[in-house]
């Protein structure tokens, strides 16, 4: 293996590892939603399911909860704990749950 190939391979590996770490962090964040929205966003109670939600819709709802335009006793408090980036990651995560 040439030096260039070695560098290339290690960069690829670092990239893969950081992707895995991100996926795990998001899964951990998402588990905080499971109490109300069900495992992997599949709600069994009265709360809406998050699984398969359109990403833009998801982000918009979280912003509406944050601003208070969409009043909800629980979600208004909950949504404020997340940054824009975290919400984007959560939106992506839940949109991919089937």
Cβ-contact 58, 90 below 8 angstroms: yes
The CB-of-12 to ligand HEC minimum distance in angstroms stands at 31
> Which member of 26, 39, 42, 47 binds ligand HEC (CB under 6 A)?
47
Stretch that binds ligand HEC, among 4-12, 14-22, 30-38 (CB under 6 A): 30-38
Cα angle vertex 95, ends 28, 69, to 5°? 90
The CB-of-86 to ligand HEC minimum distance in angstroms stands at 8
User: Closest Cα to residue 58, out of 88, 27, 28?
Assistant: 88
**C-beta of 1 vs 83, nearer to ligand HEC:** 83
């Amino acid at each position: 293996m040439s030096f260039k190939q070695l560098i290339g391979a290690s960069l690829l590996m670092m990239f893969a590892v950081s992707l895995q770490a991100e996926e795990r962090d998001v899964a951990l964040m998402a588990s905080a939603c499971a109490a109300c929205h069900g495992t992997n966003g599949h709600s069994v109670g009265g709360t809406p399911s998050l699984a398969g939600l359109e990403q833009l819709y998801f982000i918009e709802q979280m912003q509406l909860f944050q601003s208070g335009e969409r009043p909800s006793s629980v979600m208004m408090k909950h949504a404020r704990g997340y940054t824009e980036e975290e919400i984007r990651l959560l939106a992506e995560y839940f949109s991919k749950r089937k």
